[in-house]
Chains A and B, each alone.
Chain A
Amino acid sequence: MVQHDIVIIGGGPAGMAAAVAAYDNGVKDVVILDREEDLGGILRQCIHNGFGLHKLGQELTGPEYAAVYKEKVKERGIKVFYESTVTAVSPDKIVTARNREGILKIQAKAVILAMGCRERSRGALNTPGTRPAGVYSAGTAQKLMNCEGYMVGKKVVILGSGDIGLIMARRMSLEGAKVEAVCEILPYSGGLNRNIVQCLEDYGIPLYLNTTVAEIHGTKRVEGVTIAQVDANRNIIEETKRYIDCDTLLLSVGLIPENELTREAGIAISPVTSGALVDENCQTSIEGIFACGNVLQVHDLVDYVSDEAERAGIGAVSYVLGENKGSISVATKAGKGVRYVLPQTVHTDSGKDTALFLRVTEPFGKVRFTVTSGDEILATAQRLKAAPGEMEKLIIPAEKLARVKEEIVVTLDELN
């Protein structure tokens, strides 16, 4: 069995940024394992622009953002195992992978989980109807079109208004397809506002809220779909059923962190984020195993994935070098209007300002976030609007954190 100080599973934006941060902070023996033949992960198929404004101060496409980090990995001589699929991570940090040469076993001092997420499928939705060709998840269609140059259809309906669905509505329109409708079962879109403007409005594509696909028609190929409005309990309203002629249905109905390895290792998972429970250094319930990026929580911006991965990388370095990151910890909790708070535990004696990341339960207008512990207010922040599709970040100053004895709660109040 070979040995490495830090083993990173996944070479997407999270894995690359974690590797670079670990290297730059003092642990040189870092390796990345990736199942693909190239680094970059999901960014390889995200050819649209809008990446990197926060992190790199320039507007890049996905492949360009990935290239910036690939270059950093290469410059540092960080070893990458390509086409190597990790099949197990043990609690004592033995990573098992399979590639063309056979089985690879690595004893790591620290492991960073950066496996990303995958798309929810039609099976998860229980959409009635036949099983014709022409039903794709939006990300699969994106890969076929952008990496392989294969046009997936000409008349398209998209179910789900997450960012990938919106991006694909524009992409297919640009390539000459007619996107008939984007249907969203919720009363609001989970996508970014800017994507509704530049991907739908620019191309005259209608967005139907409180609407779902009630049935898929066609035997060999999709011939059409029946869409319908839903009531407050998400039950289909029969009289609103409407047939749309189309040859393709794209599903953009949510992302699920890919945590099979995490579960098998016995790491505690949050039922809300579907990712590991972590502290402020992204350390999971098993010491020395860290998680970052979409495998930890589904992000809307890659820039924040890179930031999170840097924290995980630095956390792993501290663990390997035996540095003290604090010994007293308290839990965090999502209060009124907040769906989740991450990290789920925070060290109060770390001596550092500590960021909390959270998502709200539904769209709000002007709001104030308040972070409290017992009677003490640790931080407040106002926003002109808040939406579930946009992650919020609140910072607790170190000196206030040092006095914390009880659970930290984040609540939201609507302002007029």
Chain B
Amino acid sequence: MNRDLICIICPRGCMLHVEEQNGELCVSGNACPRGKQYAIDECTNPLRTITSIVRVSNREDTMVSVKTANPIPKGKIFDAMEKIRAVSVEAPVKIGDVILNDVFGADIVATKDVE
């Protein structure tokens, strides 16, 4: 294993280098510990936070924005989107309210208040 990556954790966008040494992944180029974790995840089980919207059924033309409370496997993005698209929610909604439980290991939570 020998890979160059651009860290996507923060806008700094560090250029990371990952090398396998004695069965362990060694990361360089990261400015913070989150970068190291990102590089290891990216080489073993790439993860992404997904954000989208869900319709508010009892308010006209109103959407509530949502996200996965933690990152989910990259390969499951479109399956997760399908589940998010299939639901609607009733106002009032508060930031952090769980809209869907356990979508590939993450709850889907509201990121906006709707009164």
Chain A residues within CB distance 8 Å of chain B: 47-50, 53-54, 59-61, 63-64, 67, 145-149, 174-176, 192-194, 196-198, 202, 300-301, 384-385, 390
A47 near B111 with CB under 8 A, answer yes
Given the known A-B contacts A47-B111, A63-B111, A149-B53, are A194 and B65 also in contact in the complex, defined by CB atoms under 8 Å?
no
Question: Chain B: interface residue count, which band?
Answer: 20 to 34
Q: Please determine whether B52 and A174 come into contact, CB atoms closer than 8 angstroms.
A: yes
In the assembled complex, the Cα of A198 lies from the Cα of B10 at a distance in Å of 12
The answer to whether B50 has its CB under 8 Å from any CB of chain A is yes
Contact (A47, B113) CB under 8 Å given A53-B10, A61-B65, A147-B63: no
Known contacts A146-B65, A174-B81; is-contact A300 B11 (Cβ 8 Å): yes
Flag if A192 contacts B67 (CB, 8 Å): no
A176 to B52, CA, bound (A): 12
A192 to B95, CA, bound (A): 28
19 intermolecular pairs with C-beta atoms under 8 Å apart: A49-B49, A49-B67, A53-B9, A61-B65, A61-B67, A64-B111, A67-B95, A146-B53, A148-B61, A148-B63, A149-B63, A174-B78, A176-B81, A192-B13, A194-B9, A194-B11, A202-B48, A301-B11, A385-B15
A47 & B65 in contact (Cβ 8 Å cutoff): yes
Contact B51 A47, beta carbon cutoff 8 Å: yes
Q: Which residues of B sit under 8 angstroms from A390, Cβ to Cβ?
A: 11
Q: Do B13 and A193 have beta carbons less than 8 Å apart?
A: yes
Q: Which residues of A contact B61 (CB under 8 A)?
A: 148-149
Shortest CB-to-CB span from B54 to chain A, Å, is 9
Q: How far is the CA of A197 from the CA of B67 in the complex (A)?
A: 19
Q: Which residues of A contact B48 (CB under 8 A)?
A: 198, 202
* B54: nearest chain-A partner, CB-CB: A149
Q: Is the interface of A mostly helix, strand, loop or mixed?
A: mixed
A186 smallest CB distance to B (angstroms): 18
Alpha-carbon distance between A53 and B77 when the two chains are bound, in angstroms: 23
Cα distance A155–B7 in the bound complex, in angstroms: 29
A-facing residues in B75-115 (Cβ within 8 Å): 77-78, 81, 95, 111-113
Given A47-B67, A192-B13: 5 more A-B contacts, CB < 8 Å:
A59-B10, A61-B65, A63-B111, A174-B52, A197-B8
Q: A61-B65, A67-B113 are in contact. Are A54 and B10 (CB under 8 A)?
A: yes
Inter-chain contact B77/A174, CB cutoff 8 Å: yes
B111 near A194: Cβ-Cβ < 8 Å: no
